[in-house]
Amino acid sequence: MEFDLLLRRARLADAAPDGLVDIGVKGGVIAAIAPELGQDAGEVLDVAGGFVSPGFVETHIHLDKSCIIDRCGCAPGRNPHRAMERVAAVKSTFTVEDVNARARGTLERAISHGTTIMRTHCEVDPGVGLRGFHGVRALVDAYKWAIDLQICVMPQEGLLDSPGTEALMVEALRTGATVIGAAPNYDRDRHGQIRRIFELAQEFDVDIDMHLDSGTDPNDLDALLVCELTEQIGWQGRVAFGHGTKIASATPEHQDRIGRRMAEAGVSLAVLPATDLFLMGRDQDHDIRRGVVDAHRLMAQGALCNISTNNVQNPFTPFGDAQLIRMANLYCNVIQRGDAQELRQAWDMFTTNSAKVLRRKDYGIAVGNPADLVVVDAPTPVDAIRSISPVLAGFKRGRRSFTRQRAELHPPG
Ligand SMILES: [Zn+2]
């Protein structure tokens, strides 16, 4: 048999409506892309002009604390919310089994919405110990058939002001975490935490992915120190940060300078619109600021930016289904970018750009790459974002990982 899998009449992003191709997969790898590859395959799926994309890439999600909103609750109305404290209050009750079950549910949702590569941030501190980490780590192997899952260990409740946390981070780095994170807003000495994380990253030779610059003062950016340290230790292309809402409060010219600085230092930004929209502007009672960075502006200056989910159904974001197309729709709506070209760029923000953040050299629909493919129920990336189109089927290394049925109407008679 020539192929294990054959996707027939696929439309790739940016292809003309009549420029359909067949994608042949052999041994988990894309073996051929051509207009007519015959029928000689183990599984043949005729997508009939449907849009086929590389699987989606999530770089910033918290599986360990997903789906706990029923335990933590939410402050009603515009009362002070204190998301971190609400999670911290229940974290000591987490067991490995509990984390594993919740994380599994969220991971399966992500898979069913087309995600094939994921970085999950996982917190350790004396309250939860390594239970969150162990609950998530067990999923790395268990779900290899559908997703490449990597763990970024982070000190959500502070590092310097939280004795015992660093030892837990080191233990996680020795036993399966492959990326190091940070949350400097939760230490009194923010820069001290950032510097210590860079030291640990060097010691363990791991990439860095920080929670940075949530707030409103664009003249108080930790991202600038991060750019400086990235250059100092030669980590260009290996450092990412999420949120950066302070950048949204900067003037356009200031934003451009920040974008150029990020590009120069090889530091990328993950926009996390769901959490930022839910948490920002809590000091206001009307005309509430959005606090979502216009990453398109930073990308125009050469910075690498992507979109991610962040929190799912916890006090940081009481909503969510780990659906990246929906997140791109939300982001574009909030930053008021609806032009086709802008939406096309937003598609890259959870595919190509996210893959670059994770330094995947084998990503995309090309001969020789792993056959991580999804069939989207829309003709183009732009249509998919406009209408939050469902993903109908996914393949991980050429093996089908999920199927979603199209809705069917039943008119009378
Ligand atoms: Zn986060």
pLDDT tens for each residue of the chain, 413 residues long: 899 999 999 999 999 888 999 999 999 999 999 999 999 999 999 999 999 999 999 999 999 999 999 999 888 877 777 898 999 999 999 999 999 999 999 999 999 999 999 999 999 999 999 999 999 999 999 999 999 999 999 999 999 999 999 999 999 999 999 999 999 999 999 999 999 999 999 999 999 999 999 999 999 999 999 999 999 999 999 999 999 999 999 999 999 999 999 999 999 999 999 999 999 999 999 999 999 999 999 999 999 999 999 999 999 999 999 999 999 999 999 999 999 999 999 999 999 999 999 999 999 999 999 999 999 999 999 999 999 999 999 999 999 999 999 999 999 98
Residue 92: Cβ within 10 Å count: 12
User: Residue 81 C-alpha to ligand 1 middle, in angstroms?
Assistant: 17
The protein residues having their C-beta less than 5 angstroms from ligand 1 (an ion) are 310
Decide yes or no: CATH 3.30.1340.10 for domain 3-49+365-403.
Answer: no
User: Residue 275 C-alpha to ligand 1 middle, in angstroms?
Assistant: 8
Q: Is residue 374 within 8 Å of residue 394, measured between CB atoms? A: yes
Q: Does this chain's domain 3-49+365-403 share its CATH topology with 56-357?
A: no
Nearest-angstrom CA–CA distance, 270 and 402: 27
User: Residue 243 C-alpha to ligand 1 middle, in angstroms?
Assistant: 8
Long-range contacts of 11-17 (CB under 8 A, 24+ apart): 11/47, 11/49, 11/50, 11/51, 11/52, 11/379, 11/380, 12/51, 12/52, 12/365, 13/51, 13/53, 13/344, 13/347, 13/380, 13/381, 14/344, 17/49, 17/379
**How many residues comprise the chain?**
413
Treating both helix axes as pointing N-terminal to C-terminal, what angle do 252-265 and 222-233 enclose, rounded to 10 degrees?
A: 20
What is the structure's pLDDT at 337? 98
Please report where in the chains the tokens 């609806």 appear, as a residue: 338
Q: DSSP letters of 135-158?
A: HHHHHHHHTTTT-EEEEEEE-TT-
Please report where in the chains the tokens 């950016």 appear, as a residue: 221
User: Residue 62 C-alpha to ligand 1 middle, in angstroms?
Assistant: 6
Q: In terms of Cα–Cα distance, which of 247, 320, 303 is closest to 280?
A: 247
Q: DSSP letters of 242-276?
A: EE-GGGGGS-HHHHHHHHHHHHHHTEEEEE-HHHH
User: Residue 61 C-alpha to ligand 1 middle, in angstroms?
Assistant: 6
Per CATH, the number for 56-357 is 3.20.20.140
Q: Where are the domains of the chain?
A: 3-49+365-403, 56-357
What is the structure's pLDDT at 76? 84
User: Residue 311 C-alpha to ligand 1 middle, in angstroms?
Assistant: 7
What is the structure's pLDDT at 81? 78
